[in-house]
Amino acid sequence: MKDGFIKVAAASPVIKVADCEYNAERVIDCIREADEKGVKLLVFPELTLTGVSCRDLFRHRVILDGAEKALTKVVKATEGSDMLVFVGLPMAVGTAVNSAAAAVSNGKLLGFVPRRCADDHFIGADREFHEIDTDDFGTVPCCADTLFFCQGNTELGIAVEHGPDAASIWSRVSDHARAGATLLVKMEDFPATVSSTREAELNLRYESRHNLAAVILAAPGKGESSTDHVYSGLCLVAENGTILTEDEQNSAARTSLAVTEIDVQALVNLRRETGCFDLVDEDYCSVAWDCEPVDTALTRHYNKHPHLPENPADLPAYCERMIDLQVSGLVKRMEYAHLDHCVVGISGGVDSTLAVMISALAVKRMGLPATNVVAITMPCFGTSSRTKSNAVVVAEQWGCEVRVIDIGKSVYQHFDDIGHAHDDYSIAFENAQARERTQILMDVANKVNGLDVGTEDLSEYIDGWCTYNGDHTSMYDVNLGLTKTQVRAAVAHIAAKTEDKVLKAALYDVLDCPVTPELLPIHDDLIEQKSEDAVGSYALQDFFTYHILQDGFAPSKVFRLAKAAYGDEFTDEELKRWLQSWCRRLFSQQFKRSCLMDGPAVMNFSVSPRDGWLIPSDAEAALFLKDLEKI
């Protein structure tokens, strides 16, 4: 379980009703296929060895004996494999018959998990612990509330729920999760309907999200009786609200098998934030199985832009929601402060472009004219005609008042005042321009009864790519809660839906321009100072932020995920170099985040010093950098 990954699978073979010997062979076929794929946990539907549609045959001695022999065959077939297999069968205990899940691994029968809910054919089990005497495997535990743990790894807890138990209002799935089950096994018995797959997907999304768990579901397949129903062999795996994989039989001759990897480490990290899990329950039975740690090969998909929805169809509504949150925050702040103007420094970059459009939408919502947005471009030594033109065009097309204030003369005067050579392009040369611009914006805001609206985004605050008390500072930052990838998505969304051809062209050109602070002199009007040359791809940085800060993963694990997400887009050397840079800057630049202004969060993660992600301003990055030495 390197990095917390375990490969799991749900399988639904095409069986024959009441033919236990045949069904055992199909189960064994699935076990062998799953073992070849490196699966460590395999789940079958309820009553796999007989079929769920046997009806009164469940109580017949021939079927019960046949199911027991079939189980023995399955158990022996697992010898030499540390895969944990859950297979269903009817089980006779004295004069009672119940539906049970048999837990099998490496030629051993580890225990039975009986169904809790009774029906016309089976009794319901209580919570009491029992021991069952078997002819071939001796005495084995039998308890409805059992947690299976991988030997030496208590983070991987597994609990089983049968179909009727899951459908009951007394479902124990949340109790299992709170008791320590990170993987919830659902051995289902439901037939297919026109809505059954959709309903199962919704249920798994909810249960996995609500319980911060993985849920593995296997339902009966097309080999079941068609007397009253048809079955589809639905197999699903979900993790924390996301369906990772699914499979369903499209013919009567095909086994359905859904294989993926569960990130147990991610689930445990999420649970640590709640304090609602690992609650001791003395009624639970604990069973351990030997599972050798392996370097699980990753096949699951990782989104290159995890702060955005992966389905393109969901992106417009997502962007509209982000924009509304920004506008709503700005309107509330202006109304509270009795202000009627927004003042925005425009550079032609995506951040200031979005900020000026948000400001225009805010004054419109307040019933004020668009000219109440004062958009100020402040060209200096590094400003290109391309970015200046885009900035002006965007502001003018929104109807804003545009002011051009060249700061070159005042910056040179400042250099003279502090004894800084005009050709000394050190950090003071750059920062003086940013601070001069901030002074102008705030003073103009005071003059027009306005608010200096900040433009810096969350990505730039994470890596500290801003001048302290320069562009780092404003009176209210509408981009504070958005990553660079989210800012770009919002600008692209507005560009796509506008009917203003001039605005559309300018916005797409803004998106096409490289990110630049424009603080060093340029030659031939070419943009030479590019932010991503210094701090790395912002898409990659946002990927790091999501998985290191929001998921709580180690940098070495995030390196692995980045390779899976980006493929050959970056070399191993580049990924490691930018990870090292990101880790160093995360710690060294915290002092800038410790005094950030107000601004609306658009996610459940922010770097606000009031209720966001916080670290001391002098914490060390040593352990994070040392972790990268594992690569």
Q: 552, exposed or middle or buried, with CB in 10 Å at 0-12, 13-18, 19+?
A: middle
What is the tens place of the pLDDT at every residue in 456-487? 999 999 999 999 999 999 999 999 999 999 99
DSSP string, 564-622: HHHGGGS-HHHHHHHHHHHHHHHHHTHHHHTT-----BSSS----TTTS----TT---H
Number of H helices, E strands in the chain: 20, 20
Beta bridge partners of 7: 261
The pTM of the full predicted model, rounded to 2 decimals, is 0.89
Site of tokens 């077939």: 77
Q: Residue 354 has what pLDDT?
A: 97
**Helical (H) or strand (E) element with 272:** helix 264-272
**Helical (H) or strand (E) element with 335:** helix 315-337
Residue 386 pLDDT more than 70? no
Site of tokens 């770097």: 607
Q: At what angle do helices 350-365 and 315-337 cross, to 10 degrees?
A: 60
DSSP string, 517-553: ---S--STT-----HHHHH--HHHHHHHIIIIIIS--
Q: Residue 19 has what pLDDT?
A: 97
Residue 530 pLDDT more than 60? no
Residue 529 pLDDT more than 50? no
Q: Are the beta carbons of 542 and 307 closer than 8 angstroms?
A: yes
How many CA atoms lie within 13 Å of 579's alpha carbon, on the beta-carbon side? 32
Strands 96-105, 108-114: pairing is antiparallel
When mean pLDDT is compared across 36-40, 280-284, 465-469, the lowest value belongs to: 280-284
Residue 609 pLDDT more than 50? yes
Q: Are the beta carbons of 231 and 222 closer than 8 angstroms?
A: yes
Angle at 472 between CA 470 and CA 474, to 5 degrees: 85
Q: 128, exposed or middle or buried, with CB in 10 Å at 0-12, 13-18, 19+?
A: exposed
How many CA atoms lie within 13 Å of 22's alpha carbon, on the beta-carbon side? 11
Strand order in the sheet with 401-404: 401-404, 373-377, 341-345, 450-454, 476-477
Q: Assign residue 513 a region: left if phi > 0, alpha if psi is -120 to 50, beta otherwise?
A: beta
What is the tens place of the pLDDT at every residue in 132-178? 878 778 889 999 899 999 887 889 999 999 988 877 777 788 999 99
Q: CB neighbours of 222 closer than 8 A, spacing ≥ 6?
A: 14, 230, 231, 232, 233, 249, 251, 252
What is the C-alpha separation between 569 and 573, in angstroms, rounded?
12
Beta bridge partners of 186: 161, 217
Residue 312 pLDDT more than 80? yes
pLDDT grade for 267, boundaries at 50, 70 and 90: very high
What is the tens place of the pLDDT at every residue in 221-237? 999 999 999 999 999 99
The tokens describing 580, both together, are 């090292």
Strand ranges, E, within 107-198: 108-114, 130-134, 138-142, 146-150, 153-162, 183-187
The domains located in the chain, with CATH, are 2-289 (3.60.110.10), 312-630 (3.40.50.620)
What is the C-alpha separation between 576 and 556, in angstroms, rounded?
9
112 closest CA partner among 85, 140, 76, 152: 140
Please compute the mean of the pLDDT values over residues 366-375 and round it to a whole number: 98
Residue 204 pLDDT more than 60? yes
Beta bridge partners of 87: 102
For the chain, the straight-line distance linking the first and the last C-alpha, in angstroms and rounded, comes to 17
